[in-house]
A = this chain, B = another copy of it.
């Protein structure tokens, strides 16, 4: 990480800065989505961009997710670099054909001739009291599809560096931002930097147990690690940062070292991201594991509205702490 001279940004600001820098650098980059121009997006992530880059490059669309994602695919094939904004991750249900049957396959089906350099930015994460259709984390679907890359940043620093790389990538990249993290602050240097896709980051070193966590779950894991420290358990926290490509080596090495692993992800627990990561680790570190890899995801229920119910659906520092202590006990 370059020296940051104490500068701190929120995750929303980091995303905006990445977009602005890439739009300045490359006039082919543009953003399209709903209420993103003057409104700057309901989460205010894009405030100010239309003023700098104009309505031609920060484009308000109709509420036509499938349609404008398709337009982005065609624009990407013919020389532009679209960044598609899907307001809530729940609405990706509407764009799967364009992402999966078109964007992900165009390069392969054309024998490598056409390319689709586009970024899909959307959100994940619950606990905003937004109920079942505005709280999902559906990134596992994208991870399953060859031809797509999938990025889940967990800090402002990572968000900026990874988004810049995603925009420069020659392939369709799905980029998931946790809604609850938009206000999270963290160091972001003034100088330009990028972060390669496919490089996990060890957010905290430890020796007794490895906690692999994605996006929103990284902060929960770090909180749990502190609690564990008080209980004299040293937890290593690793953020894969990109789920495809997946940095299997870093995950497996850590598992070999600590011999115990918890995998956390905010998607639905069943048939989710944690299953793949757990499988990779179980395969790669089989002879070093002292206990089965434990998966902690969202409950296998639609996200309820009622606050006490919703809070029960996602892992917490306390629940991770307890799971980890039980494994190390």
Q: Interface of A with B (CB < 8 Å)?
A: 90-94, 96-97, 100-101, 104-105, 108-109, 131-133, 138, 140-141, 143-147, 243-244, 267-268, 270-276, 278-279, 282-284, 286, 289, 291-295, 299-302, 304
Tell me the bound Cα distance from A275 to B145 in angstroms: 14
Closest to A294 in B: B283
* Residues of chain B within 8 A of A273, CB atoms compared: 271
A185 to chain B, nearest CB (A): 32
Could you say how many copies of this chain the assembly holds? 2
**Interchain CB contact under 8 A, A131 and B109:** yes
A171 CB, min distance to chain B CBs, angstroms: 12
Contacts of A268 in B (CB 8 A): 144-146
Residues of B within 8 A of A300 (CB): 146
Q: Which residue of B101, B244, B272 contacts A93 across the interface (Cβ within 8 Å)?
A: B101
Given A97-B94, A104-B302, A147-B302, A270 contacting B244 (CB threshold 8 A): yes
Within the assembled complex, what's the spacing in Å between the Cα atoms of A283 and B279? 10
Cross-interface CB contact of A132 among B97, B109, B267, cutoff 8 Å:
B109
| CB <8 Å contact, B101 and A90 | yes
Instruction: Give the distance in Å from the alpha carbon of A191 to the alpha carbon of B93 in the complex.
Output: 41
Residues of B close to A276: CB separation below 8 A: 270-272, 275
Q: Which residues in B have their C-beta under 8 angstroms from that of A286?
A: 289, 291-292
Chain B residues near A271 (CB-CB < 8 A): 140, 143-144, 243-244, 273, 275-276
A67 to nearest B CB, angstroms? 12
Distance (Å) between the CB of A204 and the closest chain B CB? 24
Tell me, rounded to whole Å, the shortest Cβ–Cβ distance linking A102 to chain B. 9
A144's contact among B108, B109, B267, by CB below 8 Å, is which?
A: B267
Please give me the residue from chain B that is nearest to A98 by CB atom. Answer: B93
A-B pairs, 7 with minimum CB distance: A93-B97, A275-B275, A93-B96, A143-B271, A286-B292, A144-B271, A283-B292
CA gap between A268 and B304 in the complex, in Å: 31
| Cβ distance A282 to chain B, nearest Cβ, rounded Å | 5
Residues in chain B near residue A97, CB distance under 8 A? 91, 93-94
A246 to B140, CA, bound (A): 19
